[in-house]
Amino acid sequence: VFKEGTVGPKFGVKCEIGDRIGCGIKFDQLSEAIEDPFCTLMPIYFVRNGRELGTILLPLPLGGLYPAISMHSLGEEVRIFLGLNWVPEEDSLMSVDNNEEDWYRLNDIRLNGQV
């Protein structure tokens, strides 16, 4: 992860050809910096092939955030797909049950319409 420079700490494993990478902000986990109550810390997370690699806390810049992609060496390439909708795994596996079968069995009543 490079922040305002050309070097940074290693974060996750090295990407390979064909990997899909992404990042986002966990808006439900924004917090104030301990040393500066006017500074908002943003949890930024990174994903590789749909699996979260980890999260880092960064201060929210006064001017906001702007998307950017940077390369480390000559000859590196990326292909960008914009506008994709990513669905978290727990949301894609969600099942809704209205318990109608239990209601019929326990109450010996037949319902018409929505429960």
This prediction's pTM? 0.57
Q: What is the pLDDT of residues 21-68, one digit of tens each?
A: 888 888 888 877 666 666 788 888 888 888 888 888 888 888 888 777
The percentage of residues in the chain with a pLDDT greater than 90, rounded to a whole number, is: 0
Percentage of the chain with pLDDT > 70? 57
Reply yes or no on whether the pLDDT at 114 is more than 80: no
Q: Give 19 or 104, the one with higher predicted confidence.
A: 19
Mean of the per-residue pLDDT values for the chain? 73
What is the pLDDT averaged over residues 91-111?
56
The rounded distance, in Å, linking the Cα atoms of 31 and 37 is 9
What is the predicted pLDDT for the residue at 107?
A: 60
- The pLDDT score that the predictor gives to residue 41 is 86
φ, ψ dihedrals at 41, nearest 5°: -95, 130
Residue 74 has pLDDT above 60, yes or no: yes
Four-residue CA torsion sign, 11, 48, 60, 29: negative
Closest CA to 28 of 18, 15, 16, 42: 42
